Copies of this chain bind each other. A is one copy, B any other.
Amino acid sequence: MNIDVSIDAAGPIAPEICPVRPLLDRMADKWSLLVIARLAEASGNRLRFSKLMRAVGGVSQRMLTTTLRNLERDGLVTREVFAEVPPRVEYELTERGKSFLIPVRTLIGWLEANWPDIQRSRELYDQND
């Protein structure tokens, strides 16, 4: 997604909305949030690849790797490789990654409070037209 909302000639963009897209791009993919959640639960906020994969459940190797690379790139997790046989790689939530959980939980709180109503709205909307 490369929408440059900051140079919109048709009108000013809400400053507080504009920079949110990059974050959404990170959160919105299929696995990032689940991965962060799993790491947050783990002791030491740390899991090796295979454990993490089973903890997340349903994720392919490809997508887990991709997701972790992106999270690492953003400084939300660290990646540590151990020179062993068989190889072992551990991922750990950084402080930034942990602090990210706070706003996420706020959002989740809103969802939990509103999700039943939203579902009702959807049913109503779908059955009417």
> A: which residues have CB within 8 A of B?
1, 3, 5, 8-11, 13-14, 16-17, 19-24, 27-28, 30, 33-34, 37-38, 40-41, 54-55, 57-58, 72-75, 96, 99-100, 102-112, 114-115, 117-118, 121-122, 125-126
Pairwise interchain contact B73-A22, C-beta atoms closer than 8 A:
no
Given the known A-B contacts A9-B57, A110-B100, are A3 and B17 also in contact in the complex, defined by CB atoms under 8 Å? Answer: no
A13 is contacted by which of B17, B30, B57 (Cβ under 8 Å)?
B57
A16 and B108 CA atoms in complex are apart in Å by: 6
Instruction: Give how many copies assemble into the complex.
Output: 2
B117 touches A109 (CB 8 A): no
Residue pair A16, B54 in contact (C-beta under 8 Å):
no
